[in-house]
C-alpha cells in the first residue's frame, strides 16, 4: 500500500509500505479520509517523544471494512485502544488508562495510509447519507465533545452561560460547536490569524473575534500556551470554569491567587471516553454539529505539502482532510 | 474596651479603643474567644493590601450577645457580610460575591477585642455544652469544610478515596477532619515541622508524615506555594482532584502538561458559604469533627507575643485561641 511516512524531523515521504495484517479481533480498513491533527504536527516537528520516526502518523480516519464478517461496512475510527481490565476503563474513563494505546503511536501505525488495522470495538458504523469527509471529523469533534461535557458538568447554576473559546483551530471550532450542541448558546471564539478568522466568520454561527469582551462562565483553552492561560484566568468570572485542552507548551500563565480567591475550577481534558465518541458520532450524524463545511480536501500523496502549508499558517480552514485514493 | 490593634508592619498594640456601636440589624457581642488565622499573620507582615493599619484584626470569634432581643445568647460568628441582592449570594455562593465584606477588613473592625458588632444573620447559636474555645473554631473549620465539599463533589467513582493534605496548620488539620466527617476515611497529612508533626500525631486519628506515599484521588493544598503545588500535581492520580486553599505565594509549581494529559481537576477554594458555615457548626457541636483539643489558649493581652511565636514557628499547636477577658 501507499502511505505518508514520518521518516524524521520535518520529513514526510509518500512511499510503499507493507499492507497491515489484522490481529485477532481486528479488521482491515480501507482508509477513505484522514484528518491532520495538531498532534501530528508536533510529531512532524520531532517534539512528541511518544511518536518516534519512522512511523505512519494520522488517527482521524474513516473508511470501509475489507473482508470478514463486517466486509463493506462504512465506519469511523476511535483510535484509542485500551485494556478492558484497567480500573479506569472499567469506570468508563478509557482516556485515563495508563496503558492506553493510540493509533499512530508505537506499537500501532496510523492512518496516513491506504489501509489500517483496527480493533472491531473501535469502529462506529457510519450511515450512508454521511460523507467520509464528515465521518473523519468524529475524532477531533469527540475531543471537544468530551471537554465541553467536563466543563458543563461543573458549571454551576449561578454562573453565566457564556463561553469563550481560545483558538480557532479544529479543536476550538469543535469546542464551540459541541458547547452549542450541549445547550450553551452564547459562544465566542478568539482567533488571531486574520485569514482563518475571516474563514470562520463565513462558516460558523457564532462570534469570532480577536479579544475577549467581559467575563465568561466557561473558558475553553484550545491552544495551551502561557498567553492563553493568562487570558483564561483573567476572563473567567468568580466560580467559573477553565477547560484546558491545548498541549501547547510551558507551565506559566495561570494567576493562582486569583483562581483561589475566585474559586476557579481548572480541568485538564484529554481525548475522550468510548461513550463520548459514540455520542459525538451520533450528534455528527444527525446534524447537531452543523454543516461541517470548514475542512479542505487534499490528496494523501500531497500530504507533505499540506504539513508545510499548515506549519506556515497558509491554510484558512481549521482542518485538512487527506484522501489516500485520489 | 481593650483591643489588640494592628498599628503597622509587625506592630500590634494592646490598647484602649472605642466600644463598637451596632448599626441596624447588628448586635453587640462580648468576645469570649478569638483564633489567630494565617491571614492575620499575612496582615501582620504588611503583605495583605486588604488589611491596612490601623485595624483590629481577628475574624474567628465566639462570644455572647449583649443587649437587645437576643441578650445572653451564646454565638459563634460567621465573619462574611454580603449584599443579599448579589447574584452570587442569591445562588448560595456568598463567598464569591464581589462586594463581600469580612470582619477585620475595612470598613469592618475585627474581633481581637473585648467587643465586636455583628449582623444578626451572621451568628449561629452555640449549645451550652460546647465551649467557647471550640465554638471559635467554627470559622477555620468552615473554610476546610467548604474545600472538602468542593473536592468530594468532583471526585469521580473510578478514583481512589485516598486523600493527601499538604500542611498541618489549622486549615490542613481541619481539612483532614472535614474529609473524614464527609465520609473519606483514608487521609494523610504532610507536615515538615517536627514539633508540630509530633503534636498532631498525639492528637489526631490520621497519619501525619513528611512525604507522600504513592498517588491520591484528592490532594488538599493548605499551604499554597510553588513547592506544594508541584507535589500536588505529582501525586494526584489520573482524573484526580487538587483543592487549592492556601494563599502562600507565587504562580508556579503546577505541571500543566501532566494535568492536561491526566485530566486533573484543580479547584481554588476560598472561605465558605452560609450553608457551609451552618453545616460546619452542626458537625462541630455534635462531635463529628473530633475532640478539637489541638489549640493553645492565651490572653489577648499577650497577643503580640503569640504572633511573634507563630512567626518563629515556636508553636506546636496549629491554632492559638486568644481570650480577651483573662
Q: Give one DSSP letter per residue of B179-245, joined into a string.
A: HHHTT--EEEEE---HHHHHHHHHH-SSEEESS--S-EEEEEESS-SHHHHHHHHHHEEEEEEEEE-
Of B90, B224, B263, Cβ closest to residue A267? B263
What is the pLDDT, as a whole number, of residue B244? 98
Distance CA A271, CA A196 (A): 24
Contacts of residue B129, Cβ cutoff 8 Å, sequence gap at least 6: none
Residue A249 clears pLDDT 90, i.e. is over it:
no
For B138-184, write each residue's pLDDT tens digit: 999 999 999 999 999 999 988 999 999 999 999 999 999 999 999 99
Query: What pLDDT is attached to residue A97?
Result: 95
* Cα dist from A41 to A5, A308, B126, B173, B306, whole Å: 13, 10, 63, 47, 59
- Enumerate residues 6+ apart whose C-beta is below 8 A from A10: A44, A45, A46
Q: Would you call B263 and A266 a contact, using CB atoms and an 8 Å cutoff? A: no
Contacts of B61 (CB under 8 A, 6+ apart): B29, B31, B33, B34, B76, B77, B79, B103, B111, B116, B136, B139
Beta strands B216-221 and B162-166, pairing class: parallel
CB A203 within 8 A of CB A316: no
pLDDT above 70 coverage of chain A, percent = 100
Query: Do residues B6 and B17 lie in contact, with contact meaning Cβ atoms separated by under 8 Å?
Result: no
**What cell does B187 get?**
487521609
pLDDT number for residue B146:
98
Mean pLDDT of A27-45: 96
Per-residue model confidence (pLDDT) at position B158: 87
Query: In degrees rounded to 5, what are phi and psi of residue B27?
Result: -125, 155
* Phi, psi angles (nearest 5°) of residue B154: -110, 0
Once rounded to an integer, what is the mean pLDDT over residues B252-279? 96
Q: Is B321 within 8 Å of B297 (Cβ atoms)?
A: yes
For residue A124, the cross-strand partners are A76
In the predicted structure, residue A106 carries a pLDDT above the cut 90? yes
Percent of chain A with pLDDT over 90: 96
Grid cell, residue B310, equals 507563630
CA distance A293 to chain B (A): 29
Whether the CB-CB separation of A295 and A323 falls below 8 Å is answered with: no
Residue B162 dihedral angles phi and psi, to the nearest 5°: -145, 120
| pLDDT score of B69 more than 90 | yes
For residue B119, say if its preceding peptide bond is cis, omega within 30 degrees of 0. Answer: no
Give the DSSP H or E segment for A119: strand A115-119
Q: Given pLDDT bands bounded at 50, 70 and 90, which one contains residue A246?
A: confident
Q: How far is B48 from chain A (nearest CA, A)?
A: 12
Interface residues of A toward B, Cβ cutoff 8 Å, are: 87-88, 90-93, 95-96, 98, 150, 154, 156-158, 224, 229, 238-239, 244-247, 250-252, 254-257, 259-270
What integer pLDDT is reported at residue A111 of this predicted model? 98
Position with higher pLDDT, A70 vs A326: A70
Q: Tell me which residue of B37, B11, B26 sits closest to B81, measured CA to CA.
A: B26
Virtual CA dihedral for B318, B80, A266, B232, nearest 10 degrees?
Answer: 0
* Pairwise CA distance, residues B112 & B306, whole Å: 12
Nearest to A262 among B96, B158, B238 (CB): B96
Give tens-digit pLDDT for A138-170.
Answer: 999 999 999 999 999 999 988 999 999 999 999
The pLDDT of residue A235 is 98
Neighboring chain B residues of A236 at a CB cutoff of 8 Å = none
Cα B262 to Cα B266: distance, rounded to the nearest angstrom: 12
User: What's the mean pLDDT in B5-19?
Assistant: 98
State the pLDDT at residue A206: 92
Q: Which of B282, B290, B291, B298 is nearest to B36 (CA)?
A: B298
CB-closest option in B87, B259, B268 to A260: B268
pLDDT at A157: 87
- Distance between CA atoms of residues B212 and B166, nearest Å: 9
Model pLDDT, residue B157? 87
Q: Is B40 helix (H, G, I), strand (E, B) or coil?
A: helix
How far is it, in rounded angstroms, from Cα B285 to Cα B122?
Answer: 17
DSSP-derived 3-state class of residue A228: helix
Please report the pLDDT score of residue B247 as a whole number.
84
pLDDT grade for A248, boundaries at 50, 70 and 90: confident
What are the beta bridge partners of residue B208? Answer: B189
- Point out the residue among B91, B96, B239 whose CB comes nearest to the CB of A263: B96
Q: Which of chain B's residues have a Cβ under 8 Å away from the Cβ of A238?
A: 88, 93, 96, 98
Q: Name the residue among A150, A265, A269 with its Cβ closest to that of B267.
A: A265
Cβ distance of B260 and A239 shorter than 8 Å: no
- What residues of chain B lie within 8 A of the CB of A257, using their CB? 247, 251
Q: Average pLDDT in the B223-227 region?
A: 95
- CB-CB neighbors (< 8 A) of B224 in chain A: 256, 260
Q: What is the mean pLDDT of residues B98-105?
A: 96
To the nearest 10°, report the CA torsion of B230, B231, B232, B238. Answer: 100
Contact present, A319 and A36 (Cβ < 8 Å): yes
Residues of B with CB under 8 A from a CB of A: 87-88, 90-93, 95-96, 98, 150, 154, 156-158, 224, 229, 238-239, 244-247, 250-252, 254-257, 259-270
Instruction: Supply the pLDDT for residue A318.
Output: 97
Q: What is the percentage of chain B residues whose pLDDT exceeds 70?
A: 100
Per the rule left: phi > 0, alpha: psi between -120 and 50, beta: everything else, A320 is beta
From residue B68, how far is each of A183, B30, B43 by CA, in Å?
52, 13, 33
Note the pTM of the prediction, 2 decimals: 0.95
Distance (Å) of CA A59 to CA A38, A313, B264: 11, 22, 24
**Confidence at B200, pLDDT banded by 50, 70, 90:** very high
Contacting residues for A153 by C-beta, under 8 A, at least 6 apart: none
- Nearest by CB to residue A96, choosing from B92, B251, B262, is B262
Q: Quick check: A260 and B244 CB within 8 A?
A: yes
pLDDT band at A247 (very low <50, low <70, confident <90, very high): confident
CB contact under 8 A, B92 and A158: yes
Size of interface A-B (CB pairs under 8 A): 126
Amino acid at each position: 500500500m501507499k502511505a505518508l511516512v514520518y521518516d524524521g524531523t520535518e520529513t514526510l515521504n509518500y512511499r510503499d509500505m507493507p499492507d497491515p495484517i489484522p490481529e485477532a479481533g481486528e479488521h482491515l480498513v480501507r482508509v477513505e479520509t484522514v484528518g491532520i491533527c495538531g498532534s501530528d504536527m508536533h510529531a512532524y516537528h520531532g517534539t512528541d517523544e511518544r511518536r518516534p520516526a519512522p512511523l505512519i502518523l494520522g488517527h482521524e480516519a474513516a473508511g470501509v471494512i475489507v473482508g470478514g464478517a463486517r466486509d463493506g461496512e462504512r465506519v469511523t475510527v476511535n483510535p484509542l485502544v485500551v485494556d478492558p481490565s484497567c480500573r479506569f476503563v472499567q469506570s468508563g474513563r478509557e482516556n485515563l488508562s495508563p496503558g492506553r494505546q493510540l493509533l499512530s503511536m508505537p506499537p500501532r501505525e496510523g492512518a496516513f495510509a491506504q489501509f489500517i488495522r483496527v480493533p472491531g470495538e473501535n469502529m462506529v458504523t457510519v450511515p450512508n447519507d454521511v460523507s467520509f469527509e464528515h465521518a473523519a471529523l468524529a475524532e477531533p469533534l469527540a475531543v471537544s465533545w468530551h471537554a465541553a461535557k467536563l466543563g458543563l458538568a461543573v458549571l454551576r447554576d449561578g454562573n453565566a452561560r457564556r463561553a469563550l473559546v481560545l483558538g480557532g483551530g479544529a479543536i476550538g471550532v469543535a469546542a464551540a460547536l459541541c458547547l452549542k450542541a450541549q445547550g450553551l448558546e452564547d459562544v465566542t471564539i478568539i482567533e488571531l490569524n486574520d485569514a482563518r478568522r475571516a474563514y470562520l466568520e463565513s462558516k460558523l454561527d457564532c462570534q469570532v473575534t480577536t479579544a475577549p469582551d467581559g467575563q465568561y462562565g466557561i473558558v475553553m483553552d484550545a491552544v495551551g500556551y502561557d498567553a492563553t492561560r493568562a487570558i483564561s484566568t483573567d476572563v473567567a468570572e468568580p466560580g467559573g470554569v477553565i477547560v484546558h485542552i491545548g498541549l501547547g507548551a510551558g507551565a506559566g500563565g495561570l494567576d493562582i491567587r486569583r483562581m483561589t480567591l475566585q474559586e476557579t475550577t481548572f480541568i485538564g481534558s484529554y481525548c475522550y471516553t468510548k461513550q463520548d465518541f459514540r455520542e459525538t458520532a451520533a450528534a455528527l450524524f444527525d446534524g447537531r454539529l452543523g454543516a461541517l463545511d470548514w475542512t479542505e480536501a487534499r490528496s494523501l500523496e500531497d500530504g507533505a505539502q499540506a504539513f508545510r502549508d499548515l506549519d506556515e499558517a497558509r491554510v484558512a480552514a481549521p482542518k485538512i482532510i487527506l484522501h489516500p485514493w485520489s
